Amino acid sequence: MGDAQVTLPDGWVSPQEAGELENLAREGTVLEVGAWLGLSTVTMAHVAKRLVSVDHHRGSTEHQSGGACHDATLVNQFGDVDTLPRFRMNLRQNRALDKVIIIVASFEDIAPLLAPESFDLVFIDADHTTDAVLRHAKLAGDLVAIGGALAFHDANWPTVRAAIEAYSLELVVPVERHEVGSLHVLRFI
Ligand SMILES: C[S@@+](CC[C@H](N)C(=O)[O-])C[C@H]1O[C@@H](n2cnc3c(N)ncnc32)[C@H](O)[C@@H]1O
């Protein structure tokens, strides 16, 4: 198969946000929570040392039938949303497969098994309900190296913003923060 007509996967990361993800991921170890079809994955994998990508690949609420982001071409023969085959193909086409460790699991299940590993960047872009983002932030916070960053996508969603604010109140380590587009970045100093 030729690689001549490589296109980036579909996704919701803007070019400006992709540039910041590249800055944060460059030469580092990265944990991604929420991959969808791999746009953020290939963006970071191209510059990172190593990337662990976690997604159960069943889609979030908005991806299910009737949801705002549903794509009927991603429904398998059992009627389930299943992004894994296209995700793997997109990584292959974008020459990112060898850089990425793919974990097909909910983050809640796998996060305790990842410790005591720590990452230079943890990127959270999974279930956008306040409860889930807060739960993921707490689990992810334990996996960020000192000097590393925890980045949230879609921080302009009120549900995500509420979770970031709640998480920030519980932080016991000092952080510096900045925003690029809808990316909210906490640098653990
Ligand atoms: C908004 S999409 C990710 C978009 C992707 N980062 C991009 O750049 O296009 C959210 C993804 O999170 C996944 N997801 C939702 N809840 C999850 C959970 N608890 N654990 C792991 N993945 C989850 C969904 O399957 C979906 O693929």
Task: Taking residues 72-89, report their average pLDDT.
Answer: 96
User: Please, are residues 125 and 98 in contact by the beta-carbon 8 Å criterion?
Assistant: no
Burial level of 129, CB count in 10 A (0-12/13-18/19+)? middle
For the CA atoms of 110, 82, 30, 134, what is the dihedral angle to 10 degrees? -60
Which of these is catalytic: 128, 136, 153, 184? 128
Nearest-atom index, ligand 1, CA of 41? 8
Name the β-bridge partners of 52. Answer: 31, 101
- pLDDT tens readout for residues 86-124: 999 999 999 999 999 999 999 999 999 999 999 999 999
- pLDDT tens readout for residues 154-165: 999 999 999 999
Domain holding 96, by residue range, is 2-188
Among 106, 113, 127, 143, name the best residue to mutate to test ligand 1's pocket (greatest count of ligand atoms within 8 A of Cβ). Answer: 127
Nearest-atom index, ligand 1, CA of 32? 6
145: domain CATH number is: 3.40.50.150
Give pLDDT, residue 5. Answer: 64
Q: What is the pLDDT of the chain when averaged over all its residues?
A: 95
- 128 an active-site residue? yes
Q: How many domains does the chain have?
A: 1
Which pTM does this prediction carry?
Answer: 0.96
- Give the pocket of ligand 1 (CB within 6 Å): 11-13, 34-36, 39-40, 54-60, 83, 106-108, 125-127
